[in-house]
Amino acid sequence: MVREKFPVRLTPEERDQLEHMVRAGRSSARVTTRARILLKTDEGWSASWVAQALDVSQGTVFNIKRRFAEAGLEGAVRDRVQARRYRKLDDRAEAHLIALACSPAPEGHDHWELRLLADRMVELGVVESLSHETVRLHLKKTPSSRGRRKSGASPG
């Protein structure tokens, strides 16, 4: 018999809680799947059988079992709280970016390109560094369209 690295042994209370999560239908699909993984593993199912039955990878089964061993039931079933993400552009810098994008293109260009906008924001000292992808994401939030003559961000 193979000894498991992270065996799952549920108490009757934990089993009831997981079964309620599965039956109630109020939890997200992710939480429900994790609960089913723990229930099947506790019943003695192998990781490969659980993975095949629930249409997940064996890695997912092993990760849930490891999280259960390390953090308990809630740690295995619920997502971890992620640290607050750092914003590259605050509201002032975002307004500056939008104003720059609505301004006439620099000489030698017929329109602003994302990399050109990122470079100009750095040149102006608004930010230390900025990627074109960050520029794209911030401009995507605005109703303006750089491809049309009349945009939602400028009157011209």
Residue 26 in any domain: the answer is: yes
Q: Each residue of 32-52: pLDDT tens digit?
A: 999 999 999 999 999 999 999
| Residue ranges making up the domain that contains 117 | 91-140
Q: Verify that 96 and 132 share a domain, yes or no.
A: yes
Using alpha carbons, select from 112, 98, 114, 106 the residue that is nearest to residue 153.
Answer: 98
* Contact in structure between 36 and 54 (CB atoms under 8 Å): yes
Q: Verify that 128 and 104 share a domain, yes or no.
A: yes
pTM for the predicted model, two decimal places: 0.56
Q: Each residue of 136-145: pLDDT tens digit?
A: 999 998 876 5
Q: Verify that 68 and 97 share a domain, yes or no.
A: no
Confidence category of residue 3, pLDDT binned at 50, 70, 90? low
Q: Verify that 69 and 95 share a domain, yes or no.
A: no
Q: Each residue of 115-149: pLDDT tens digit?
A: 999 999 999 999 999 999 999 999 998 876 555 55
Give the number of residues written for the chain: 156
Q: Tell me which of 53, 77, 101 is where a domain ends.
A: 77
Using alpha carbons, select from 89, 18, 81, 8 the residue that is nearest to residue 44.
Answer: 8
Residue 22 in any domain: the answer is: yes
DSSP3 helix / strand / coil % (the chain, rounded to 5): 55, 0, 45
